[in-house]
Amino acid sequence: MTGAGTAPPLVPSSGRSYNPVVTLNGWTLPWRMNNGVKEFHLVAELVVREMAPGFKPHMWGYNGQSPGPTIEVVKGDRVHVFVTNRLPEHTSVHWHADEMTQMAMGMMGFNLWTWNSRIFPGIDTLNERLGDKVRIRIGNLTMTNHPMHLHGHEFKVSGGGGGGPWPMAARWPEVTTDVAVGQMRQLEFVVDEESDWAFHCHKSHHTMNAIGHAMPFPRRLA
């Protein structure tokens, strides 16, 4: 598995049914059902992640990718996660061992502004049809805030981290929502304008990363 593209959602093959998520430029870790327990296997290891065509940093990650695969469980699941450590040093789950090294190497965030360790133009698009109801969940694993802006649509900010979806009365309309360090935000909208719309952080130096005006750019935006 290269992890370069967005894999189709993992339809649950055992356990209770649910509507699986799509992970942008990522995939969902399969499980094995053993005596009613969902067993997952994580492998912490050195990976090469193609962030954009021709741009391949050496990073630390899980199961061949940085960030690692999505682990999807539903309320009431019993879960075992087996961890194999192929890093050149000790690691621990919750992924806060030796933060300065391991997180900076890609096990949580990296010193470029990316979506799931992918950057334009190497990132998949979020394809929708007119009239589709869309829900996007964002987690900010970086060390600064990102005001996320969607072109062409108003969305409702409908949830955060931990507590799940917010009550209807607590949701509000936005075109930009700031996602603070460590926060999660859930956005919902109905596709009512057909086009190719940008969805991006509104700090312009974040959308540019290290690309200056004098640097060659892989593809024209127009």
Contacts of 135 (CB under 8 A, 6+ apart): 158, 186, 187, 188
State whether the Cα torsion 208-96-72-10 is positive or negative. Answer: positive
Q: Which stretch binds Cu ion (CB under 5 A): 86-94, 128-136, 140-148, 178-186?
A: 140-148
Which of 123, 201 has the CB closer to Cu ion? 201
For the bound state, the minimum distance from the C-beta of residue 204 to Cu ion, rounded and expressed in Å, comes to 9
In the complex, the smallest distance separating the C-beta of residue 161 from Cu ion, rounded to whole angstroms, is 18
* Closest distance to Cu ion from the beta carbon of 177 (Å): 12
SS3 146: strand
Does residue 200 bind Cu ion (CB under 5 A)? no
146 lines the binding site for Cu ion (CB under 5 A): yes
Whether 71 and 117 have beta carbons less than 8 Å apart is answered as: no
Between 51 and 201, whose beta carbon lies closer to Cu ion?
A: 201
Which residue pairs from 207-212 have beta carbons closer than 8 angstroms and sit at least 24 positions apart in sequence?
207/113, 207/120, 209/112, 209/113, 209/119, 210/112
Token duo for residue 80: 């075992």
User: Taking CB positions, which residue lies at the least distance from Cu ion?
Assistant: 201
Cα separation of 195 and 9, whole Å?
24
Which one of residues 141, 199, 206, 209 is an interface residue with Cu ion (CB under 5 A)? 206
Determine, following the binding rule CB under 5 A, whether residue 137 of this chain makes contact with Cu ion. Answer: no
Q: From the CB of 12, what's the least distance to Cu ion, in Å? A: 34
Binding site for Cu ion (CB under 5 A): 146, 201, 203, 206
